[in-house]
Amino acid sequence: MKYLLDTNVVSKLFDKSANGHLRIREKIASLKDEDEVAVSILTLYELEYGLANAPEELRDVVQEKIQQVRARFQVVPIVTAGAARFGKLKKALKERRSLDKARIHLHNVDLIFAATCLADGWTLVSVDTIYSDMVAIEPDLQIENWLTPQQEVPPAAAARRDRTSR
């Protein structure tokens, strides 16, 4: 399996006091050798924004987190193949949630994560609830929340996952 970690999961992974920190560490440790775990280039952008806005006393901690992310994980670029999926998904999400132009822009990074996963066959690991709406729009989008107890995968989803992992 290929897992793309959302920024919220990366933040919890590198913050020992965060709710779910141990669960995420344990999940990563339990993965098979052939499994891939990566972050999007946008996660680095978001972490760098956090660094730029961090109080002086926290800057070293945030900088260390960024260095650990770069050293530990493959960094996945934004892919051209995801552009069309992004446009369609964004339009459908805007309509589904009745969002105006200003509100839909708040979800651009989430939408790019989803489009990247759809285009390149990644499973997105996130705690964001917005992805349930995206899965309703685009059923091939695979999402896992490693902070919730693992539930049995419905047979249709398991078949879809098995088909895409070949």
The answer for residues whose C-beta is within 8 angstroms of residue 98's C-beta and 6 or more apart is none
The token pair that represents 18 in the structure block: 């965060």
Lowest mean per-residue pLDDT among 9-23, 62-76, 152-166: 152-166
Domain range holding 67? Answer: 2-164
The single-letter DSSP state of residue 55 is -
Supply the pLDDT for residue 148: 83
Q: What number of CA atoms fall less than 13 Å from residue 64's CA on the CB side?
A: 8
Whole-model pTM? 0.86
Indicate the residue type of 53.
Answer: N
Total tally of structural domains belonging to the chain: 1
Mean pLDDT of 130-147: 95
Collapsed DSSP state (helix, strand, coil) of residue 22 = helix
* pLDDT of 83 higher than 60: yes
- CATH number of 97's domain: 3.40.50.1010
- Band of the pLDDT at 27, cuts 50, 70, 90? very high
